[in-house]
Amino acid sequence: MLDVIHFQRSPGQRGFSIERLFDDLRAAMPADIRCHRHVAPRPSRGGWQRLDNILDARRHRGAVNHITGDVHYLALGLPGETTILTVHDCGILHRSRGLTHQVYRRFWFTWPIARCRVVTAISEATRRELIELTGAPPEKIRVIHDCVSADFVSVPAEFNPICPRILLIGVAPNKNLERVAGALGGLACTVELIGRPSAAQAAAFAGHGVKLRALGEIDNAGVLAAYLRCDLVLFASIHEGFGLPILEAQATGRPVVTSNCSSMAEVAGESACMVDPLVPASIRMGVEKVIRDAGYRAELLQRGTENIRRFQPARIAADYAAIYRELAGGPARAGRPSSVATGRSA
């Protein structure tokens, strides 16, 4: 039995998609892999709290260590030869400037990547970006996609073409809500948003006459209920490390309109309606096509069902298990051929 430590960020930090993802992967691991979750004791704020997290990681290191995301700097306290780091996105490098940018670049990316034996990125788009922005050696970065939780199951529902309910996910600047508001202006629809919009975002919807119901921060059950209430999911983000809402929507049996750039095109393939997120007219055309064309909607649903097969927890867990065995000195791969060996997406 190979014991693996999953290092996770403090639960006091916003966002829990990473935690939910690795809960699913731990449950799906092959029988010879036993994963133990270890949560950082401190929120990742300030030098002293982060140093305490590094020292804590050092005390709790195992035979194989996996930094599951967001607290990359824990690699500085772990043995490099037996440590894997998963990078979910490079958003902080886009948002930061000056000295702050340099600190994040070194402590979150350059030094942890140099220290770890294996680094995984959750999409080929993120892998390319990581190499470009940090100078990471390409041969060290492998692609292992995120998985879609088994909690998201298909529940067929009659589509409402007269006044469809459109679901939006997330309020970060990359979620592109102001352009989405412009795209939906004048369209007969109801809109729900997972997250709390800023004053500017709320004003954009109000200014275009779009009635917005903000759901705030909700738990997993609330997220699932929101997918099941909607007629379609609109995820016209500018940039994503992966784009998990695409798969969650498809798993629940809802058509998706998403962006033709970043990792979203990689995740969706031909199973979603692709639009240019920088052009409100393109977003509008995509939404209207899904609403008005029943045949096209049915095609998207069928393709979505086929698409999510690539992202099942057992499939993704097997990819991670192959790396764990490699780091422990065992065979590099077992079972199906995996993208981890080549760095190519599945």
d(CA 20, CA 318): 17
Q: What does DSSP assign to residue 195?
A: B
pTM, two decimals, is 0.89
Contact criterion met (CB below 8 Å) for 176 and 237: yes
Copy the structure tokens of residue 100.
């702050």
- Same domain, yes or no, for 329 and 245? no
How many CB atoms within 10 Å of residue 187? 17
For residues 7 and 122, membership in a common domain is answered with yes
| 157, part of any domain | no
> Which residues 6+ apart lie within 8 Å of 231 measured at CB?
157, 159, 160, 164, 165, 166, 254, 255
pLDDT of 33 strictly over 60: yes
Q: In this predicted structure, what is the pLDDT of residue 12?
A: 63
Cα separation, 276 vs 238, in Å, equals 9
d(CA 189, CA 187): 6
Structural domain boundaries enclosing 227: 165-309
Give the H/E segment covering residue 177: helix 177-184
Query: Which residue type is seen at 261?
Result: C
- What CA–CA distance (Å, rounded) separates 242 from 189? 27
- Provide the pLDDT confidence category of residue 334 given band limits of 50, 70 and 90: very low
Nearest to 119 by CA among 99, 96, 100, 143: 143
What is the enclosing helix (H) or strand (E) of 168?
A: strand 165-169
The span from the CA of 199 to the CA of 283, in Å, is: 23
Q: What is the pLDDT of residues 255-265, one digit of tens each?
A: 999 999 989 99
Domain count of the chain?
2
Q: Report the Cα 248 to chain-centroid distance in Å.
A: 11
pLDDT digits (tens, 9 = 90+) for 128-175: 999 998 899 999 999 999 999 999 999 999 999 999 999 999 999 999
Residues 169 and 89 in one domain: no
Residue 86 β-bridge partners: 120
Range from 63-72, 90-99, 334-343 carrying the lowest mean pLDDT:
334-343
271 shares a domain with 321: no
277 in the same domain as 322: no
Looking at residues 224-243, what average pLDDT do you find?
96
**Residues 250 and 335 grouped into a single domain:** no
Q: For the domain that residue 283 is a member of, what is the CATH number?
A: 3.40.50.2000
Asked if 78 and 58 count as a contact pair (C-beta separation under 8 A), the reply is yes
Question: Residue 331 has what pLDDT?
Answer: 45
In this structure, are 125 and 212 located in the same domain?
Answer: no
Span 165-219, pLDDT tens digits: 999 999 999 999 999 999 999 999 999 999 999 999 999 999 999 999 999 999 8
Is 142 in the same domain as 24? yes
Looking at the domain assignment, is residue 203 inside a domain?
Answer: yes
Q: So what's the pLDDT on residue 15?
A: 54
Examine the domain organization and report whether 290 and 323 are in the same domain.
no
Establish if 180 belongs to a structural domain: yes
* Residue 318: its H or E element: helix 313-327
